[in-house]
Chains A and B, each alone.
Chain A
């Protein structure tokens, strides 16, 4: 069976894949904690 291009790339670049995942996780965590984007409102 022919592999998808993305899978082929991941198999040949495991460390770059790891780094990308790490960056995505850090960005998600920063956003979820309100450190990346925060909006304050008064009501």
Chain B
């Protein structure tokens, strides 16, 4: 019976080879899970251009010097937003942005630890880079808004890149410590 099946499918094999060549250009591991959106401590990983990874432990802490000037103690926190696209089973791309900020109840007192990055791509999808960044407000103001936009493309060896996604992420932090995230895909 096996021989019969092989005989029946023999003519299909060359076509299968051609189709396999047209399959997604490469495979990559699924994007790593992103940490909780609002954290009070953790381990930060920074990826350098030369491939090295720097680990930095951090935790939310009170700024006692500034707190002495206000009844409201100055606090710092890091917030982040991630936008992820999947096919229902695995991740196709994941885009990430985070911002650390300190606040005293009426103003954003300082900004630190900004990061935006591609969090990983799935088979057939390529990261093409950041295409935009915007911000308004800042340290000393009531609010600070920062946004970024990236470019992902679905590509094959034969057809090149034929689908393009432009996800954008935005974080808005306020002087009272509250914050909001928003995102979309252009």
Interface of A toward B, CB cutoff 8 Å: 1, 3-4, 7, 10-11, 14, 17-18, 21-22, 25, 29, 31-43
A-facing residues in B121-155 (Cβ within 8 Å): 122-125, 154
Interface centre among A34, A35, A38, A43 (most CB of B within 10 A): A34
The smallest beta-carbon distance between A8 and chain B, in angstroms, is 9
Contacts of B83-106 to chain A: CB distance below 8 A: 83-88, 92
Please give me the residue from chain B that is nearest to A41 by CB atom: B84
Binding site for A on B (CB under 8 A): 1, 4-5, 7-9, 11-12, 15-16, 19, 22-24, 34, 37, 81-88, 92, 122-125, 154, 163, 167, 181-183, 185
Q: A7-B8, A38-B92 are in contact. Are A32 and B124 (CB under 8 A)?
A: yes
Measured CB to CB, the nearest residue on chain B to A13 is B8
